[in-house]
Structure 1
Amino acid sequence: EFRMSDAYSFHRSFSELNNFFPRVFRAYERVFRACEVPTVAAEAGVGFMGGERSYEFLTPSSNGDDYVVECPKCGYIANRDVAVAAYPSGSGRPNALERIETPDCKTMDDLAECVGCKRSGLAKTMVFAGSSRLVMAVVRADYDVSLEKLGRLIHEPALQRATDEQLRQAGVVATHAGPFRLHPDTVVVVDQSVIETPNLVCGSNEEGVHFRNANFGRDFDAHYSGDISRIRSSALCRHCGTSMNISRALELGHIFRLGDYYTNRMDLRLRDETGREFYPQMGSYGIGIGRLMAAIVDTHHDADGIIWPVSVAPFLSYLMTIGKSRSVRDTGDAIAEYLEHEVLYDDRDESIGTKFKDYLLLGIPFRIVVSPATMTDDTVEVYDRIASSTHTVDVDTLPEFLAARQREYLDRARESTHAL
């Protein structure tokens, strides 16, 4: 389940959208900072949403379904699906093209063993179905195809792996596919890694046969060429040459600069004060509410349960009484009344141990205990769940004490800077 808190903006011009978009970006940063969740904003793909550009807000997580790439030197950061890196240039002069028999090679590992080279010496071919055409993507075998980059390059946002029937109709031999003898409607897209590497072993599109010393531009060409591969863990930053880090992360929010992607397609036009018609420029903004809660819990917990930050805690305080004394119960009732909605009053007829355990599981920041012992000097015991500290507080000054602690934690959250 991915429940979103969505928002959209409409603007009279692209410049107005460009001026508004950074304001939402900064607002999202403040939201996640207030929630005390470490986040990073990374350039991301637009995917099925379409549009011109997007940014994800991600939190580090070993269970995350995204990967974020970061350069520790220059600060470049992006989702792995769109991240760019410096490609190592291959060396050597182009050799004569050779036809080699490879009848038992069904995988890239089989082929590497058969021809006696590393995966970096092989070209890997994958075929996808677009809206009305087949697309053959050719990358070096030590890379994977990024559907986001590929779709953006050829303006096909909804690519799917081609079926066996589609491959058959296009004359593609699945186990030995390559950019040769293809149906004229098949679009060939070659990755920069293939362009930079001479003398690759490549599928011939003939059963049981590969080509050795295949070179782009001499032996095969492409309708499109560019960066269509996912970067690897050893990749160097294209901007400063530093080795980049790749880590798993969980997406918490995503904002899109859509432009007129939807308004143009829907023919949604507005008229300004001069009578000029125009397509509104759109922005789309979303936070995954359930994911954000999960990230908060993942960040703020201990062996006993959740520890909610004060900014998002369902209640600021948990109030409980010990014993059956009427004066203890009356004091508890009075505290609950003047703390109002900020307190969860546990007046159940349960044991002290049960209430203490339930409090820890709930993770409310402060626990207030009224007991016969505290009543002797008109005080209460306040346990700070965040700091793991216990305080004796006069009943009359309890609201001020709680407010001061709340301000302290909120100020600390606002001043903190979170990064991966």
Structure 2
Amino acid sequence: MQDQTEYVQQAFRKAKQQFLIAEILDLNYDSDAFLSFCQDKKSSDIDEWTLEELDLCVQEFKKTHKPIPKLKKEPIKSQVVNIVKPIDPLEKVRKVLGKVSDSVVEVEPVNHNELSRMGDVKILVCNPEIVDPGLFSSKYYQFVVNTQPVNWLVKRKIEDFLWIRDMLVNDFPGVYIPPIHKSSKSKLEEKGLYKRQVLYSVFLNNTASNQVLRTSQLFLAFLKEADLKLYIRAAKKPYRIQKISQIKSLNQEITCIFEELLDKYEHINTFLIKTDKILVELLEKLKKLIHDSVTLADSIQNYAEIISESKQNYLSIKNEIGASIYEDVENSLHNWADFIMKSTKNIYEDMIIPIKVYKMDMLTLKDLIKDKDTALANYKCSLGKTNFNELKEVFGYFNCACFTQCEKIMGESLTQLQNKMAAGFKKKSDESLQFHLIWGQLIEQLSITY
């Protein structure tokens, strides 16, 4: 329970940080002045502020301060971020664990490319189409991948999405690679295609948000090059990390932690197992809710057909008033059934899909833990051998990377799920008004008829 509370707190902290960056840094307000303003009002520690209090504080600050005219674009390194006290991986571990056995190892820097030098990147997967290659091959789906702001447009098969993730896992050991829908079977249903578009878009955008993964030449090719065949043929085969020099870093440094952190990983594993069990049950309930809603909509349509027969019966005796009443009721029943089907679609898009994305995120963390455990086993087996120190450093790297990324992804994934669910519930709130309008209009029409 304590660990889950900490993950929630981290998610709220992240949300407040993003809010301040959007409202202060992105709009070019004086960050030093805002820091002083926060200190005078309450505190410069973000944990002592609620999001609502920060919102009011920002509004009050903007009444007496104006944005600084922009001279040139600068990276976000302003002191306003100090309000949320960014914590580097090693500091995070020390805060949670106290003193740990660690070291910093120098490694080769990553090679930057066109993609890694860009600012914000947005990627949309859309326009699925069936391709028929002819007699000797099966039909398959391909999607358009649109990268903005450079407007790269390429077409990718389902297998291409699976391939690029496998390559990223291979080329960036110990780095969290966003999950992807693993099934390569092509489904013709509209719902299945929509789900793939959403999940593929989430995968690519989350990947592009990682500055290290952006340096991948294969990821750049996936987004930009029309034909991937040459890159697929030239891609490296999977290999095992034998020494720390095989790993690259943005700042040419890698932190290693040699404590096994058994109790911490036990808590994380317990959390992941329970989370998976809860989400499986929740998804089953939501699927049943959709099934029951579709059944209800079909029953209402059948009811409407019976009412239509009554309308025709009144028309047969030239009773237009009776026929008009039944027609109004029939139309309302059809509207009710349509309303339920739209509401069912929203359940799928705004609840089921975000929960599946969150579930895949949690399962991916298990892969990171598995890699760490493999590195630990290799290190222990090397005792007394010439490569002992090298494998010790490899384990230290995987250990630090795994623990810090578990903490990070749990918080970020929860924030994303929270935002998606909030948007879905907002739609449900709007739907209640539409539901009342259906029957309000019928009551009004019946009053006029009488």
Q: TM-score, normalised by structure 2?
A: 0.18
Q: Which has the higher helix share?
A: 2
Q: TM-score, normalised by structure 1?
A: 0.19
